[in-house]
Chain A
Amino acid sequence: MNQNVMKMITPLAAVIIFGLGLLVSGMNNPAKIRGFLDVFGDWQPALMAVMVAAIAIFALAYALSNKMKQPWFHSIFHRPSLTVIDKRLVIGSALFGIGWGMVGLCPGPALLNVMTGQWDVVLFVAALLIGNRIAHYTVGPAK
């Protein structure tokens, strides 16, 4: 099939599987995330299995890609170029973690949950997008 068509179909198919995975596992449910993060209270560790399974499968795919010259439908692997562990990484991740725990939504599930039509989700996503732009215009992209 035409490479340009596959460049459209691949991310579409991948993200539909991704979204179904979030919904099947319960990652979309803020109450469940809060339970997972409630380590010092009524801890519900089941979501650990989501990360373990996902990381294991991606790790296999990544190992496989090291033996490939290029992806199936594209000319190069866009390997992340940032390797430095700096204040920016730690502060950003800390801010994200605080927001994640406060409500129980990380970006993927938040976007997905907009489809529930609940205004609470729309409000959260609007704030998320504004936060993204505030950081873009104040801190700027990482080099």
Chain B
Amino acid sequence: MVEKVMSMTSAAKLVKDGMMLALGGNALHRSPVAFSRELARQGRRGLAAVGAAPGLATDLLCAAGAVDTVYFGFFGFENEYGLAAGFRKGCQEGRIQAIEGS
């Protein structure tokens, strides 16, 4: 069997600049935040993110400037946690292209 367990640093290196990335979870739940923090730390750029309801991990990449396109149905958090700030700011500043689907 191929050994797949590796450090977070090595795992994040599998994602290259410009790739399309789908992170799991919904909004604030089951969001792989530590992985996306490591991607941001490594300075990844030009990623396209895709998800039905992308969560905190994707928003962190938006805030870090790692993402330039997002395919999504709903990108926000629930009620008292409000809109996804990194994504919203990126769209409003023209850095992120929002491709909204249903």
A and B bind: no
Q: Which residues of B contact A (CB under 8 A)?
A: none
